[in-house]
Amino acid sequence: VCAALAEGCPVPVRRVGVNDVFGHSGPAAELLKEFGLTADHIVEVARTLAGK
């Protein structure tokens, strides 16, 4: 989806997701924090990308 949108309106993109690692099991909140997928981390990445 990101690539298709970028064709019509090229904008900077920063992918946020789980790196190439083996999965873990545990409480969801701990896993989100471990992999950098908390709301706070995503907002931080977005602000950095926006230059704020």
- 5-33 pLDDT tens trace: 778 887 777 777 777 888 789 999 999 99
Quick check: 36 pLDDT over 80? yes
Residue 43 — pLDDT band, cuts 50, 70, 90? very high
Within the chain, residue ranges assigned H as helices are 2-8, 28-34, 39-50
What pTM value is reported for the model? 0.64
Q: Please state, in angstroms and rounded to a whole number, the distance separating the CA atoms of residues 51 and 47.
A: 6
Q: What residue spans define the domains of the chain?
A: 16-52
The answer to whether 12 and 49 are in contact (CB under 8 A) is yes
